[in-house]
Amino acid sequence: MFDFVVVGCGYAGAVSARIVAENLNKKILILEKRSHIAGNMYDDYNEVGVLVHRYGPHISAMNDKRTYDFLSRFTDWVPYEHKVLAQIDDKKVPLPINLNSIKTLFPEKYNELSNVLISEYGFGSSVPVLSMMKSNIEEIKNLADFLYRKVYLEYTIKMWDLDPKQIDASVTGRIPFRVSFDDRHFLHKYQVMPKNGFTKLFENMLDHPNIKIELGINAKDRISVDFNKNSIFYDGKKFDGKLIYTGSLDELCGYEYGRLPYRSLKFKFDNYNENYVQPCAVLNWPDKRPETRRTEMKRLTGQILPNVTTTITEYPGKYNENSLDFNEPYYPIIKKEYLDTYRKYVDKLENIKNFYYTGRLACYKYYNMEDAILSAMKFVDDNFIKEHNE
C-alpha cells in the first residue's frame, strides 16, 4: 500500500508529491481524473504542430527564488516578457494602461495629460484608477472615468456576469494606472517560459521512483470518507496513510451544503496559414462583445514555425459540470455566503486526522501558479517535513 495518496496532478499535487517523495522517502500514488498530468498547466502540440495551452494561456511570472529554483530543476527556461494590448474602440493600447496607452488614445492631449499625471503622482508610480477617479484635478478625473468605462466596466460585467449596478468601483478601480512607459504586463522578478513546455516540466518533476500516477481516475471512485468513524477508505479498506487532496471539497463531501460556484471559460482554437495574426501575445476586448481576449500561442511560447499559427479565444460563462462549454471550474466566486459554505466543508473534514488539502480547488481561492506552488511547499513543510526533522 502507498504511504500517501495525492488527488490531482496540477502544480499543487505534483509539487507536494515530489517534495514528499524525495525528502521523506515515502511511496506516493497520484490519482488524476483527467487523461493527462499537469492540471490546468497542460500543453501539447496541436494538429498543425503549434504548442498550445489546453486550459487557457499560462505565463510563468514569479517573484520567489525558492519557486524559481525548484522549478528550474525540471526545465530550462526561455526569457519571456508578457505584453497585452487592449482594443479600445479602433485603437490597441498597452494594458495595464500607461503613458504609451494615453499617447495612442489621446494624441492631441497627450503632452498636457502626461505632464499633469507626472507632476501629480511622479514618474514611475502606479496609481489605482479609483484614486484617480477621486482626484480634484479635472483632466485626471475625466481620464479615470474614461478608463473605468472603457477598460474595466464591460470586461467585469461579462467576466463575472454582473449587473452594472452590482459593480463596485472600489473593486474594479483597484487596477493600477502606470505613470511610465513600461509595457510589460507583469513586473515579476522571473519572467520565463519552460523551454519544452509545461507538460514536459511536470513529467520531469514526477519522474521519481517513489511516485506512481494513475490517470483517468476520479478519486470518488476509489476514496470515501466515513464521517461517523472519522476515517478514510480506499477501495473499501480503511486507509491509514495520508491523503493530500487538491480537488474540490464540496465534491468530496457529496455537495452536502450545496455546490461552490465558479465562473468558467470556453476556449475556441483557430489555426491560420500565416506567421502571426496579431501584434502581441494577448489582445483584450474590454467591450460588449462576448469574447474577453485572444492569445496567439507562438508569441507566448516563442516557438518558431513558419506559415502557421494558432490562437485561443476565451468566452466566459457560468460553470456547470454538465455544460458542454463551461464544465471546468476556473474562477471561484468570492462572496461571503459562498465562503461560509466553503468553511462548513473545511470544518466537516477537520476531524479526519489523515486528511490534508492544498491547491486552488481545495482552498476555493484564485491562485496563480506561484501561489499554488508556494502554498503547496509551505503546506508540505508544515505538515510533514518539520515533523519528520524533529
Nearest approach in angstroms of CB 360 to ligand FAD is 4
Nearest approach, Cβ of residue 153 and ligand FAD (Å): 21
Residue 5: strand pairing partners:
29, 243
* DSSP codes, 166-230: G--HHHHTTSEEESS----S---SEEEEETT-HHHHHHHHH--TTEEEEES--GGGTEEEETTTT
Among 3, 23, 27, 33, binds ligand FAD (CB under 6 A): 33
**Residue 134 half-sphere exposure, CB side, CA atoms within 13 Å?**
8
Question: CB-wise, 150 or 360, nearer to ligand FAD?
Answer: 360
> With CB under 6 A as the contact rule, which of the stretches 67-75, 104-112, 316-324, 354-362 interacts with ligand FAD?
354-362
Kindly tell me which residue out of 372, 374, 377, 380 binds ligand FAD, with binding defined by CB under 6 A: 372
Q: Does the protein bind ligand FAD through residue 6 (CB under 6 A)? A: no
CB of 71 to ligand FAD, least distance (A): 11
Q: Label residue 337 exposed, middle or buried (CB < 10 Å: 0-12, 13-18, 19+).
A: exposed
Residues 326 and 329: their CA atoms lie apart, in Å, by 8
CA dihedral 268, 251, 205, 44 (to 10 degrees): -20
Alpha-carbon gap, residue 200 to 37, rounded angstroms: 10
Question: How many helices (DSSP H) and strands (DSSP E) are in the chain?
Answer: 14, 22
Interface residues for ligand FAD in 77-116 (CB under 6 A)? none
Stretch 274-313: interaction string toward ligand FAD, x if CB under 6 A: ----------------------------------------
Out of 18, 26, 54, 58, the residue judged to bind ligand FAD by CB under 6 A: 58
* Residues 198-257 within binding reach of ligand FAD (CB under 6 A): 218-220, 246-247, 251
DSSP-derived 3-state class of residue 149: helix
Which CB atom, from 110 or from 330, has the smaller least distance to ligand FAD?
A: 330
Of residues 94 and 316, the one with the C-beta less far from ligand FAD: 316
Q: Write down the least CB distance from residue 222 to ligand FAD, Å.
A: 9
Among 19, 193, 232, 265, binds ligand FAD (CB under 6 A): 265
Interface residue with ligand FAD among 20, 21, 24, 59 (CB under 6 A) is 59
Residue 11 sits in the site that holds ligand FAD (CB under 6 A): yes
The only residue of 34, 150, 293, 299 in contact with ligand FAD, by rule CB under 6 A: 34
**Which cell numbers in the block locate residue 333?**
466566486
Examine residue 56 and tell whether it contacts ligand FAD (CB under 6 A). yes
Residues contacting 317, CB < 8 A, separation 6+: 161, 263, 264, 265, 266, 323, 325, 326
Q: How far is the CB of 135 from ligand FAD (least distance, A)?
A: 32
Query: Residue 12 CB, nearest distance to ligand FAD (Å)?
Result: 3
| Euclidean distance between CA atoms 8 and 40, whole angstroms | 11
Q: Between 139 and 328, whose beta carbon lies closer to ligand FAD?
A: 328
| Min dist. Cβ of residue 80 to ligand FAD (A) | 11
Which residues share a beta bridge with 86? 93, 284
- For residue 354 the three cell numbers come to 489523515
- The answer to whether the beta carbons of residues 313 and 307 sit under 8 Å apart is no
R_g of the chain computed on alpha carbons: 23
Judged by the rule CB under 6 A, the positions of this chain that interact with ligand FAD are: 7-13, 31-34, 39-41, 56, 58-59, 218-220, 246-247, 251, 265, 330, 359-361, 367-370, 372
